[in-house]
Chains A and B, each alone.
Chain A
Amino acid sequence: MKVDYLSPGKIEGAALTLLAEYQRKFPSATLLPVPVDDIVDCHLELDFGFANLIGELGVPDVLGALWMNERKVQIDQSLDPTNFPAQEGRYHFTVAHECGHWILHRRYFLDKAAQPSLFGGEAEPSIVCRSSQKKKPVEWQADTFASYLLMPKEQVFAVWQEKHGSLEPYYAAEEIAGLTARWSVADGSIPTVRVAKEMAQIFKVSGQAMQIRLNSLGLIQTSNEQSILV
């Protein structure tokens, strides 16, 4: 699927606008961690649920799916954070990712008639998100949106300041080198450092997602890591 280019600034603006709208609608709601499933369910009022997507769609590594015309989001039941607490970070990111598709990409689908199933059953999903998917622009945009939504810049800086007493960055090269040597990390992947894991607990995201965000904000400095989000 081809989509128009969106700058990171524009995607961040869309994520922060959504957060502000949610806060206006539910002023007493807590925003740390960002209640992304409540945003999708109660604010956007999408039909949000869990299903055995792997079985139903026949896709082995599916995480979530979105039916634009039906306003429906389904997350694979293997990510249910109540049944599988270790998956909570991945669950939040997947919901935020689907939310990103809804906010950024629904205009590409809503004008068109729903595509019915070949067998007369339910319509096929508009978007199926898989863990092994190569990051096409449409998926990169949804990932970027998810990162900005779950880890807003101001909140990340505020938590960092509170934990460390300043906004000085953490120089992680030494810790990364030590972890890489100890755990024989695969080529090209970067182990998650302790400060990122600690912050991830607060934002309820994976350590890896937190580290990428901290790196993009200049709070973690590594010598060999490439920033994904600017």
Chain B
Amino acid sequence: MPPKKPQNEKFGHKIKELREAKKKTDPAFSLRGFAKAVGVSPTFLSQVENNESTPPSAENIIKMAELLGCDADELLALAGRFDPALQQIITQKPRAMADLLRTAHEVGATEEQLQRVMEQLRRKENKD
């Protein structure tokens, strides 16, 4: 058999691992059942899980995360894709959002620091 091309290997492995854990107690998570629920063909899902195809669209990855009960952002990151909603958010306030992200990146903000900023923003919103 010819060697397979690596394509976002971690994404395929993660989906397979999560689906295989679920299928032990629920046949809806069989390859065919899960593919149908996501809206892709079993051949495509099989190729993705076995690292033989590029990951599905962001919309399908979000659907997979919902069905598997895991974090959509984590799966999107593994697949090298972005939530299309994020693009829309940035487009609405392009300069401010881009500045915010660049600044956070430049100062090397940690996840805890970003969490604190978000909490402050939420508190302000509740007061308003």
Instruction: Identify the A interface with B (CB < 8 A).
Output: 26, 29, 35, 37-38, 41-42, 45, 48-51, 56-57, 77, 80-83, 117, 121-122, 124
Contacts and interface: CB of A to CB of B under 8 A. Distances in A.
A82 B42 contact: yes
Contacts of A41: 23, 27, 30-32
Given A49-B46, A49-B50, A80-B43, A38 B1 contact: no
Interface in B24-44: 24, 26-27, 29-33, 35-36, 41-43
A35 B27 contact: yes
A124 B50 CA distance: 17
The 10 closest A-B pairs by CB, nearest first: A49-B46, A50-B43, A41-B30, A38-B27, A82-B41, A50-B46, A80-B43, A42-B27, A77-B43, A42-B23
A74 B2 CA distance: 15
Interface string B40-66: 011100110110100000000000000
Nearest to A26: B27
B47 to A, nearest CB: 8
How many B residues touch the partner, as a band? 20 to 34
Nearest to B2: A56
Given A42-B23, A80-B41, A83-B41, A121 B30 contact: no
Contact of B3 (A26, A77, A83, A121): A121
Given A41-B23, A42-B23, A49-B50, A122 B36 contact: no
A37 B26 CA distance: 13
11 contacts: A26-B27, A35-B27, A37-B30, A41-B30, A42-B26, A42-B30, A45-B20, A50-B43, A57-B1, A81-B42, A82-B41
Interface of B: 1-3, 20, 23-24, 26-27, 29-33, 35-36, 41-43, 46-47, 49-50, 52
A83 B32 CA distance: 12
A49 B31 contact: yes
A14 to B, nearest CB: 21
Contacts of B41: 80, 82-83
Contacts of A38: 27, 30, 32-33
A83 B31 CA distance: 14
B30 A51 contact: no
B24 A83 contact: no
Contacts of A122: 1
Contact of B31 (A35, A48, A124): A48
A36 to B, nearest CB: 10
B7 to A, nearest CB: 15
Contacts of B32: 37-38, 41, 81-82
A82 B44 CA distance: 10
A83 B43 contact: yes
A83 B44 CA distance: 10
A29 B27 contact: yes
A56 B52 CA distance: 12
A42 B36 CA distance: 16
A42 B29 contact: yes
A82 B36 contact: yes
Given A80-B42, A83-B41, A56 B27 contact: no
Contacts of B36: 82
B96 to A, nearest CB: 44
B16 to A, nearest CB: 9
